[in-house]
Amino acid sequence: MSGSGARPAVGSPERAAPKRTLIVSHDPAFPPASGADLRNYRKAEAAARFGPVCLVSVRPKTEGNVPDPLIRVEALSAEGEPRTASIGWWRSRAENRIPRSALTRLKTLIGEFRPDTIVIESISLFKLMRPLRPLAEQLILDMHNVESDLAGQIRHLSTKRTAAAFGVRLLERKALSLVDRVWVCSNLDRQKLMALCRHKIPIHVVPNGIPQAGNGPGHLPAEPSTGNGFPVIVFIGHLAYPPNVDAAQRLANVILPRIRNALPGARLVLAGRTPRPEVRALAGLPGVELIEDPADVAPLLSSAHLTIVPLTAGGGTRIKILEAMAAGVPVVATPIAAEGLDLVENDEVLLSHSDETLAETAIELCLDPERRARQRLRAYQAVWARFGPQAIADAVRDGLGLNGATI
């Protein structure tokens, strides 16, 4: 096993003893490639303020040096190794396959790392919870989404069979009975979870953080020039995820043409991982550009005048909205896209329900530079205050039960 396991120096006699945190995910959290990876890595960065952290994934890890010496990255499998039997003879569609060899390696790692807290990423890793329960001083379930609610939302969007909401709800209840605490993304998800939880268990809101936040905000970026194609509209997301596929199709086929009737120079940039064939086909439409697997979204955001997020289904909170606001890009979205973020409507975000009104709202914003400048500033200030590094560190501290610890 590689990486730093040394305890950090204690800065003062009043500071609590360092706490060791093990975060278990299915995909490697570093370098982050998806919204789930970003959340996992932000949690690790925040937990590292209180002691050593080990990020361990079921799938093989990717190369890359973690910038924080208190965060180590491990994997429970390796590329090319023989396939072994999985844990359990049956699993639901909401669960990932976990090899028995992965559990053996995880138990060895726990014995060596000696975590005070183990955080399990989502009910997809349910098969690990019972074996880890006796090994964990504190076991936490981090729910990126309330999966039963999400399963009910996306059935009509996917051509594939999705797990029945009832079966996922049953799995969630079993998971909740095994853990000491639960983390969710928003107060809205907390309310949803409380409605189905039969046990009195602490449920903490640990928001999704701003990607690439560094140490905090700098200055509001300047708006790109409006003289060479205006507006440039960007939509960034995993382009094989059914809600994002649906949103991309409606952006290209309905929303953009309406905007181009008023603003002929309008362009739409779709960017994200593994686009499905129906998303690739959109690149042939007037004014539509597709960027597959962008190495860095910062240049895309720096050249964008706004982002439109027309989601009709989703769980947790949308990191793509936080990322845009932190880059000074105004956001026009459906209410469900912005739910859980507690943004001020008509001030920090513009909300509309239909494709037609989303297009009208975007046109009005583009034709009103003063309003656009005001929204850019208000959104930028709000996102850094509520979803920046300090806010996430405070939430993780409380979620670990370290309310009195200093940062």
Q: How far apart are CA 10 and CA 357, in angstroms?
A: 55
H-type alpha helices, 7-157: 35-47, 100-113, 129-132, 147-154
pLDDT digits over 330-364, tens only? Answer: 999 999 999 889 999 999 999 999 999 999 999 99
Q: How far apart are CA 307 and CA 236, in angstroms?
A: 9
Q: How far apart are CA 137 and CA 135, in angstroms?
A: 7
CA-based nearest residue to 342, from 300, 287, 289, 379: 379
Please give the single-letter amino acid code of residue 285. Answer: L
| Amino acid 104: pLDDT | 95
Record the tokens describing residue 343, joined without a space.
Answer: 């943004």
Buried b (16+ CB within 10 A) or exposed e, 184-204: bbbebbbebbeeebeeeeebb
**pLDDT under 50: residue ranges of the chain:** 1-14, 159-163
Cβ–Cβ < 8 Å for 300, 294: yes
> Which residues share a beta bridge with 232?
267
Q: Estimate to the nearest angstrom the gap between the alpha carbon of 127 and the chain centroid.
A: 22
Q: How far apart are CA 7 and CA 50, in angstroms?
A: 10
| Amino acid 357: pLDDT | 97
Please state at what angle helix 369-387 crosses helix 319-326, rounded to 10 degrees.
120
| Amino acid 16: pLDDT | 64
| Amino acid 189: pLDDT | 86
pLDDT digits over 164-203, tens only? Answer: 567 788 888 888 899 999 999 999 888 888 877 777 899 9
| Amino acid 159: pLDDT | 45
Topology at the third CATH level for domain 232-387: Rossmann fold (3.40.50)
Q: How far apart are CA 396 and CA 233, in angstroms?
A: 34
| Amino acid 405: pLDDT | 63
| Amino acid 406: pLDDT | 62
Q: How far apart are CA 291 and CA 104, in angstroms?
A: 41
pTM of the predicted model as reported, rounded to 2 decimal places: 0.85
| Amino acid 216: pLDDT | 62
Distances (CA, A) of 389 to 45, 94, 184, 214, 394: 9, 31, 17, 8, 9
CATH architecture of the domain covering 21-209+388-399: 3-Layer(aba) Sandwich (3.40)
Q: How far apart are CA 151 and CA 330, in angstroms?
A: 30
Domain ranges of the chain: 21-209+388-399, 232-387
Q: Kindly state the DSSP code that residue 404 receives in the 8-state scheme.
A: T
| Amino acid 61: pLDDT | 84
| Amino acid 167: pLDDT | 77
| Amino acid 145: pLDDT | 74
Q: How far apart are CA 367 and CA 361, in angstroms?
A: 10
Exposed / middle / buried, residue 5 (Cβ in 10 Å: 0-12, 13-18, 19+):
middle
Question: CB count, 10 Å around CB of 222?
Answer: 9
